[in-house]
Structure 1
Amino acid sequence: MSEPQTAAGRSTLARDLTLYLLARFGLIVVVAAVLVLVKVPLLVALAVGIVVGLPVGLLAFRGLNARVTAGLAARNERRAKERAKLRAELRESE
């Protein structure tokens, strides 16, 4: 029974992480595009887009960031339990 939950958890984490990354990169592109439209050189616009877009993305996509963080924490907890179980099995076999 735990295998379907694990697969669903992985797909949810993958989806949330992908959405979060795309949203943050999209915000950088939007900031850079607006600057290019007002005649700022492309490289300068991209640099400003990164400097402005990344912190703003942390604030703007806070809910999605929380879901990604929770998913990563759950995955790390699950992996720690599996590692502890494997270590216990290895100790028993010695």
Structure 2
Amino acid sequence: MHGSGRRARARTLDAMTSPTPPPQAAARARAGEPGLAATVALYTLARLGLLAVIALLLGLAGVPLIVALLVALIVALPLSMLLFRGLRSRLDRALAVANARRSAERESLRAQLRGDDRD
């Protein structure tokens, strides 16, 4: 009984420290779609760029800087939902893939901790 528990723990540790990349990362690389971090960074930069453009236009119109930034902040949210719809859907897909991967990893770890063999 103790031997099988030790083997299960050893398999769990091996699985946790395995350097193999997850299969979703390989599929994403083949599809040419960036990962979650790159997609979040791109979406964030696009939103900040829109904010800067709106604030700059308001500043050129003679609006004080702080007021221009506040108005740009309010206007940029709904405008970015319209302008960056494709980027937002890509972000949603990347989040769904990451969530599914984490759920699968969590379930696999729980099965290994229970001693279930899936080999």
TM-score (norm. length: structure 1): 0.86
Q: How many residues align?
A: 93
What amino acid sits opposite 2:60 in the alignment? L
1:43-58 to 2 correspondences below 5 Å: 43-58=66-81
Query: What stretches of structure 2 of length at least 5 have no aligned partner?
Result: 1-19
1:9-88 to 2 correspondences below 5 Å: 9=28, 12=34, 13-88=36-111
Q: What's the RMSD between the two structures over aligned residues?
A: 2.3
* DSSP 3-state at the match of 1:39: coil
Query: What stretches of structure 1 of length at least 5 have no aligned partner?
Result: none
Structure with more helix by fraction = 1
Larger relative contact order, structure 1 or 2 (CA cutoff 8 Å, min sep 6): 2
Q: Does structure 1 retain, via aligned residues, the 8 Å contact 2:54–2:72?
A: yes
The structure-2 alpha-carbon separation of the partners of 1:53 and 1:69, relative to structure 1 and needing over 3 Å to count, comes to: same
Q: Does structure 1 retain, via aligned residues, the 8 Å contact 2:54–2:76?
A: yes
Equivalent position of 1:89 in the other structure: 112
Which stretch of the first structure deviates more once superposed, 42-51 or 9-18?
9-18
